[in-house]
Amino acid sequence: MATSASRTTAWLFPGQGSQYVGMGQALARADESVATTIRSADEILGIPLSDIIFNGPESELIATKNQQPAIVTISTAYFLALRERNALPEPEFVAGHSLGEYSALIAAGALGLSDGLRLVRRRGELMREHGTGSMAAIIGLEGEVVDRIAREAGAEVANHNAPGQITISGRTDTVERAVELASAAGARRALMLPVSGAFHSSLMAPVVDGMRPLIDATHFTKSAVPLVTNVDARPIQHPDDLRTELLDQICAPVRWVDVVTTMSNAGVTHFHEIGPGKVLSGLVQRIARGAVTVTAETLLQTPPARTNSQAN
């Protein structure tokens, strides 16, 4: 997919936490192709997902079983709209933060939208069913210090999001203990997060067991460009490797610092965040100094006139 003129670009796709009620609605009202993509999720999943996305309530949108397919749906709609407008340089790599790996693989042609939405709907259901434990954010400590604190408390590191910005995961008592230790070690902030489970920890092992037969039965093709993996920041393209990554990333920490560093070291200078919000762009700017970041919502903020029916 990459071309010689655009070998310094990567596409990034956000994960849980990037959603908000009304995301994509203005664009869908102005662009029938966007509306069609979003409405297709209703048909694929057999639920009124577009109404939840556009109108909420927020409590319904943030339910994991809805949140995950909602983010993938909007990310894909934005991606298709950008491609239709020739507003998206071809990438050297794609990457996604946790759930965002599904959106990345859809964009890279390795996974169909229908299959991707069904997988993430079930992923969200399983994560809710097995949603024990807690997570916390630790701000202002070096990674090695947080690693040591997590081990001492019996918790696990879940996300290396940016230098000095790490999340931990595990049983609630172990995470609370890690927060106490981090505060004592001089963290600028150490706070429990409002999540429904200990994501990216060994407590998610039942989710892996539930997803394995579904992922094994899903058709994947070789991705047009490499996916830089959450688990070990390695570029992969083969369908077997893609399946393995989508299973391994459920319990493994998201090594986002390493993901961005791998792409930056390979010459990527421009990162396009394709999905709701701009969280990943902020993280990239802290990891790869001097990198150029562009968000889909900035590129799509002036949608073309639309003469067809409304999105919902």
Q: Which pLDDT score, from 0 to 100, does residue 301 have? A: 80
Query: How is residue 171 written in tokens?
Result: 């049983």
Q: Residue 287 corresponds to which amino acid?
A: I
Enumerate the active-site residues: 98, 200
pLDDT under 70: residue ranges of the chain: 1-7, 302-312
Contact predicate 105/228, CB 8 Å = no
Position 5 scores a pLDDT of 42
Q: What is the pLDDT of residues 90-107, one digit of tens each?
A: 999 999 999 999 999 999
For helices 64-84 and 100-107, angle between their N-to-C axes, nearest 10 degrees: 30
Which pLDDT score, from 0 to 100, does residue 196 have? 87
Dihedral of the alpha carbons of 20, 25, 31, 35, in degrees to the nearest 10: 90
* pLDDT value of residue 218: 98
Q: What is the pLDDT, as a whole number, of residue 86?
A: 93
CA distance 287 to 199: 23
- Give the whole-angstrom CA distance, residue 98 versus residue 103: 10
Q: Say what the pLDDT of residue 7 is.
A: 54
What does pLDDT average to over the chain? 93
